[in-house]
Amino acid sequence: MHIAMLSPIAWRTPPRHYGPWESVVSHLTEGLVSRGNDVTLFATGDSVTSGKLHAVCARGYEEDHSIVPKVWECLHVSELFEHAEEFDIIHNNFDFLPLTYTGLVTTPVVTTIHGFSSPGILPVYKKYNSKVFYVSISDADRSPDLDYIKTIHHGIDINQFDFQVEPDDYLLFFGRIHHDKGAREAIEIARACNKKLILAGIIQDDTYYHQYIEPHLDNDNIAYIGSVGPVDRNQLLGKATALLHPINFNEPFGLSVIEAMACGTPVIAFNKGSMSELIENGKNGFLVNTVDEAIEAVEHIKNIDRLYCRHHVEQNFTAGQMVEKYIQVYETILEKRIKEKHRK
């Protein structure tokens, strides 16, 4: 099977630190190649893959601000579709823009919808609903206006995360510093519990950071350490007593949630979006609705079996499982295409 894999170009694939979509694309690409598929990865020129790399944009525009995003996104997407006939399947991980090219090609297109940035983008998805095969990343993130071929949860490389039996005595916030992710609430929870809190992640909203985060930083009880790479991430997640995930939006999926659990670290999350698909309440963490409930959950975190957290990820959220499910989707689409040709 010859697959064109379209990655975003905000960051390198795989990302050096932050870049959740690019991370998923990398795991999928490498898994497909390891299973004997011919994969061409359309990504930034500095991307790393065991497949074939096809690039027109040298670096991610979030890493090189001389790159104008709209210009290079257009060049990037059009480059793939101008080569569409060379592939059996095109797998779009680039949001809605590539959909507008799909009526111009005959190669079937799978689009993984990595969440809806706003209801305003739905008209594009609705227009191409009968042309493109949509995959949701959680049942919670499905739109009633669209048809889906499958829900496929993200998977991680379990070998990148070491299981830690004995944690240190700190809570962790791991994500974008933004209202959506609940960094402010994480600080409230930690202070009420008199626990040390480490915050890690990119600052996505400077005003929010300066107003709600920075005033509480003392590098002792509340510390912000910036964005971290894979090695530091493994250590931070594994040594935390718990990951605090007090989100303020319906999150389509939470990679940090399963990454923490892979290390044995339970998660306390606000019960929004996909969280109930990732967390079994009372078994690998707690689903709560308020800051007060989260504070109470911290007191019970010692009752969670850290080994169960690890096993839950091994059984449900590995990159290998994700890859196999996507292969099934590709095969289903190609079989459907063959039947349609025979009927003509």
Question: Do 175 and 205 contact (CB within 8 A), yes or no?
Answer: no
CB atoms < 10 A from the CB of 222, how many?
A: 20
What is the residue extent of each domain of the chain? 2-155+318-343, 159-316
At residue 17, the pLDDT reads 84
- Judge whether 2-155+318-343 and 159-316 match in fold: yes
Phi, psi of 290 (to 5 degrees): -140, 165
Pairing state between β 242-245 and 109-113? unpaired
d(CA 193, CA 301): 12
At residue 201, the pLDDT reads 95
At residue 240, the pLDDT reads 98
At residue 252, the pLDDT reads 96
CATH 3.40.50.2000 fits 159-316, yes or no: yes
Sign of CA dihedral 265, 269, 273, 276: positive
Q: What is the pLDDT along the chain (344 residues), one digit of tens a residue?
A: 899 999 999 999 999 888 889 999 999 999 999 999 999 999 999 999 999 999 999 999 999 999 999 999 999 999 999 999 999 999 999 999 999 999 999 999 999 999 998 889 999 999 999 999 999 999 999 999 999 999 999 999 999 999 999 999 999 999 999 999 999 999 999 999 999 999 999 999 999 999 999 999 997 899 999 999 888 999 999 999 999 999 999 999 999 999 999 999 999 999 999 999 999 999 999 999 999 999 999 999 999 999 999 999 999 999 999 999 999 999 999 998 877 766 65
Q: Which CATH number fits domain 2-155+318-343: 3.10.450.630, 3.40.50.2000, 3.65.10.10, 3.30.70.20?
A: 3.40.50.2000
- Say what the pTM is: 0.92
Contacts of 107 (CB under 8 A, 6+ apart): 4, 84, 85, 87, 88, 89, 90
At residue 337, the pLDDT reads 83
